Structure 1
């Protein structure tokens, strides 16, 4: 089945990563984020974001701050269909925090699209692992924080969001 939805990681993938950002004024899109999301929407695919936000569990952010940053990002991107974030810390043992599949499954349920018809584009190995655990298709777009082992292990690696979206479109043919 060709993809019916594309999910994106937020920090490092759609926006420049500002650790534990709770300030919407600090949101800056990566250079090709808007064009990539626009292209996905124009192709008729559902869109969403899945993002770990452990700053909430660490007491560095509030849920309202994360929502405000998400709202600003959503506005800059022209609106996505669903936003899901995990407020838990790495040691909390939840099923939503990437690399677990929960966020991907929740977003897919929101969109009414099964995970196997979904692509997740992210910048680290946890994004790839979450997609695989949920049964979705991962695409890794490495950044300076991506470890070489994560790049080597990823089934699909793209140098930019634009290239990642081209890969998605190749699946549509």
Structure 2
């Protein structure tokens, strides 16, 4: 396999990274992009990166909303990213929560971050190499999931996501890791 045929991917947590964290977001009307998020997605798309969202969605297990609600919001986000010149290639979400009131989702799974399951599933599905991937998340559980999956993790706390993305790319080019 030559260098040109190896896919590069950025994994994004959803709430607090791509969209403002509104505590169990599922309504399209409540969706608000983080400043610079659509621009970051457009830049990555035009530069040949795969864009994959990995998100814990325990609101399903808590009975606040359904998996259909999650899919509807993700379809909307993908459509809005396309309108801005970007893309979201795939979404992986974990609806599980140990001790959840909705018994169908009451489980200790390997996909809920900080477990690396969603990242590993995506890497297998999209035939990605760890060295060609990194994750941007807003919490320690995101960075830990990245570490466990063997990829770099970067902690986004505030500011414009497109500026933060460029700083992450610069760090990667210098061979420095800034995850736990």
1:52 matched to 2:56? The reply is: yes
Which structure 2 segments of 5+ residues have no match? Answer: 100-106, 175-180
Aligned to 2:77: 73
Bigger Cα Rg? 2
Measure the CA separation in 2 of the matches of 1:114 and 1:50: 17
Measure the CA separation in 2 of the matches of 1:142 and 1:60: 26
Aligned to 1:131: 146
Measure the CA separation in 2 of the matches of 1:70 and 1:16: 14
Measure the CA separation in 1 of the matches of 2:73 and 2:113: 19
Q: TM-score, normalised by structure 1?
A: 0.83
- Root-mean-square deviation (CA, aligned residues, Å) is 2.1
Which structure 1 segments of 5+ residues have no match? Answer: 144-158
Aligned to 2:169: 169
Equivalent of residue 156 in structure 2, options 141, 144, 148: 141
**2:26–2:70: 8 Å Cα contact kept in structure 1?**
yes
1:109 is paired with a residue whose SS is helix
2:136 is paired with a residue whose SS is strand
Q: TM-score, normalised by structure 2?
A: 0.80
1:89 matched to 2:97? The reply is: yes
133-142 vs 70-79, which moves further:
70-79
Equivalent of residue 110 in structure 1, options 117, 125, 141: 125
Deviation at 1:172, TM superposition (A): 5.1
Superposition misfits of 4+ residues, deviation over 4 angstroms: none
